[in-house]
Amino acid sequence: MGRFIMQTIFALRLFRPDDLEKVMHINKLCLPENYSSLFFMDLYERFPETFVVAEEDGEVVGYVMCRIETPFPGGGLLGIARKGHVISIAVLSSYRRHGVGSALMKKAMQAMIEYDAKECVLEVRASNTAGVSLYRKMGFNVKRTIRGYYADGETASVMAKKLLATPAEI
Ligand SMILES: CC(C)(COP(=O)(O)OP(=O)(O)OC[C@H]1O[C@@H](n2cnc3c(N)ncnc32)[C@H](O)[C@@H]1OP(=O)(O)O)[C@@H](O)C(=O)NCCC(=O)NCCS
């Protein structure tokens, strides 16, 4: 029997301040790494184009929030390029495996290119099968690991993907 493909319709749009409560709620439900409202709003104000939400059934069901990291002056000459760093991504459990996470990542990476980032980087728990699988499928590779990175002592895998010249190529 063939795999049943559920037809779902979701829409992506940029985060708006009135999404804050819902996004913080999703963050708390889905991840042990939680942040203050000031932290969310600071990233929104500095990098609005890489803070994206997904809506399904008229509700926010997922988000991705990033930071653009600029090397020190002259860093470019040393081969240290501007990077887009995925700080947090989550999709409500009942909306997973519909392509929402991949679509959020793709939209954020397209915006990173507009911010002139050359690489997308992120940390993921080594035990996070869903996260690691999603990133691998999108072309990320593990660059290194950081022992004790998370508050509970778990190791982080640092994963990265080069960003090509135009957003259409993501
Ligand atoms: C990681 C997460 C954002 C993925 O969101 P999603 O909307 O389910 O992702 P997608 O539907 O786009 O999945 C794309 C691919 O990733 C892989 N993948 C996703 N979830 C997976 C799982 N539970 N097990 C194995 N592979 C998985 C699959 O290859 C999948 O493609 P497929 O469905 O065609 O097989 C979601 O699982 C989540 O919110 N997890 C909790 C928060 C979290 O861990 N965030 C990442 C922290 S670094």
Domain segments of the chain: what residues? 11-169
pTM given for the model: 0.93
Q: Which residue has the CA at smallest separation from atom 34 of ligand 1?
A: 97
What does R_g of the chain's alpha carbons equal in angstroms? Answer: 16
| C-alpha of residue 102 to centroid of ligand 1, in Å | 8
Using the predicted structure, report yes or no on whether residue 164 has a pLDDT greater than 90.
no
Using the predicted structure, report yes or no on whether residue 48 has a pLDDT greater than 90.
yes
Looking at residue 72, the DSSP 8-state letter turns out to be: P
| C-alpha of residue 27 to centroid of ligand 1, in Å | 15
Average pLDDT score over the chain:
92
| DSSP reduced 3-state for 159 | strand
> Cα–Cα distances in Å, from 2 out to 8, 9, 95, 99?
18, 21, 21, 19
What is the model's pLDDT at position 3?
56
Which of 119, 53, 114, 116 is CA-nearest to residue 85?
A: 119
Backbone angles phi, psi at 168, to 5 degrees: -65, -20
Q: Which residue has the CA at smallest separation from atom 39 of ligand 1?
A: 90
With tokens 């997973």, the residue in question is 96
- Answer whether 124 contacts ligand 1 (Cβ < 6 A): yes
What is the model's pLDDT at position 169?
67
| C-alpha of residue 133 to centroid of ligand 1, in Å | 7
The alpha carbon of 89 is separated from its chain's Cα centroid by a whole number of angstroms, namely: 4
Q: Give the Cα separation of 108 and 47 in Å (integer).
A: 10
Q: Which CATH class is domain 11-169?
A: alpha beta
